Amino acid sequence: MLHPTWAHSLNGTRRRNHVVDINTTFCMLCTLTTSIEKSIQQEKDNTDTTKTDRRQSTYKVNPLILNRWSPRSMTGEELDEDTIMSLFEAARWAPSSFNNQPWRFIYAKRNTLHWDKLFNLLADPNKVWTKDAALLVVVVSRKNFEYNEKYSITHQYDAGAAWENLALEASSRGLVAHGMQGFDYEKARVDLEIPDNFDVMAMIAIGKKGARDNLPQQLQEREYPNDRKPLADIVMEGQFKK
C-alpha cells in the first residue's frame, strides 16, 4: 500500500498529465482545423465558382476543353524543368500541314537573365499581372515549308494548334497559360533576333494559379471563364451565311 503522501502526489501527477494530454489533443485539433480551413480556402481560390454558370456546352465535350480558360492571377512561384518541358512536349505533338511543324517557342523563366528581355516586350497593362508568371513565352512560326521553301498558307493555323495543345496540357495540370497580343512585335523581332522568314505570333504567360484578390480591382472583375458564341453563329452547312 502506498504511503498517503505518495498516493496524493501520484494522483496529482496523473491529473496534471491528463490535463496536458487534453491540451495537447486540443492543440492538435486546432492545428488540423486550421490546415483544413486553409485547404478549403485555397481550393476556393483555385476554383472558379462561377464556371458552371458561365460555361455550359450545348453538346457533350471533354471537360478539359470546356474548363480551359485564361486566368491572370498567378502566385509568382517557379516551375520545375520537367513541368516546363512537358508543356512544350504537348505542343510538339500538334498536327500541321505536311508535318512541317512551323512553331517555335522562345521562353524565359523568372529569376533568370533572360526574364527582363521578354518581360520588357510586354505592354504596361500586361506587366501588371504577368510579373507573377513563372514563364514567359514568345511564339513564332516559320512561313515557308522546310522541304521546298514555298510559302505555307497554313503556318499560322498550325502554330495555333500547337498553342492549344500547350494550353490544354497546362490546364490539365492546374496551371495558368494565358495568350497575349499586347506586346511590341517589332521589338521582339529585334531583341530576340528572329529571322524574317518567321512571323511573330503571340506571347504566353504561364504559372501557378493565384487568388483572384491578388489582382487590381478592375482585373478581379474580369477574372472568370467567359462564354462562347452559339453554334448557330459559327457553323454553316453548305455555304457561308451572314
User: Which residue type is seen at 218?
Assistant: Q
In a domain, 67, yes or no: yes
In a domain, 233, yes or no: no
Q: Which range, of 44-48, 112-116, 219-223, averages the lowest pLDDT?
A: 44-48
Q: How far apart are CA 180 and CA 178, in angstroms?
A: 7
Same domain, 104 and 6: no
Same domain, 133 and 108: yes
The position carrying cell 455550359 is: 56
What average pLDDT does range 71-100 have in this prediction?
97
User: CA distances (Å), 159 to each of 141, 145, 175, in order?
Assistant: 6, 13, 21
**DSSP labels, 72-106:** --B------HHHHHHHHHHHHT---GGG---EEEE
Same domain, 138 and 199: yes
Task: Give residue-wise pLDDT tens across range 67-81.
Answer: 999 999 999 999 999
Closest CA to 42 of 210, 173, 175: 210
In a domain, 238, yes or no: no
Strands in 175-180's sheet, in edge-to-edge order, are: 103-109, 135-142, 198-208, 175-180
Give the strand pairing for 198-208 and 175-180: antiparallel
Same domain, 103 and 201: yes
- Could you tell me the three cell numbers for 204? 504566353
Same domain, 40 and 73: no
| N-terminal to C-terminal alpha carbon distance within the chain | 102
In a domain, 230, yes or no: no
Same domain, 137 and 159: yes
In a domain, 201, yes or no: yes
Read off the pTM.
0.78
Instruction: Yes or no: say if 241 and 180 are a contact pair by the CB < 8 Å rule.
Output: no
User: Which residue type is seen at 22?
Assistant: I
Q: How far apart are CA 138 and CA 188, in angstroms?
A: 8
What average pLDDT does range 4-17 have in this prediction?
51
Same domain, 35 and 69: no
CATH number of the domain that residue 188 is part of: 3.40.109.10
Instruction: Yes or no: say if 227 and 188 are a contact pair by the CB < 8 Å rule.
Output: no
Q: How far apart are CA 18 and CA 148, in angstroms?
A: 84
Same domain, 84 and 18: no
- Higher per-residue confidence, 47 vs 104: 104
What average pLDDT does range 109-122 have in this prediction?
98
- Could you tell me the three cell numbers for 208? 501557378
pLDDT score, position 160: 98
In a domain, 12, yes or no: yes
Same domain, 93 and 205: yes
Instruction: Yes or no: say if 231 and 58 are a contact pair by the CB < 8 Å rule.
Output: yes
Same domain, 31 and 63: no
Number of domains in the chain: 2
In a domain, 84, yes or no: yes
Instruction: Yes or no: say if 176 and 207 are a contact pair by the CB < 8 Å rule.
Output: yes
Same domain, 92 and 146: yes
Same domain, 126 and 82: yes
Domain that holds residue 23: 1-46
In a domain, 42, yes or no: yes
Task: Give residue-wise pLDDT tens across range 12-36.
Answer: 545 555 544 555 544 554 554 444 4
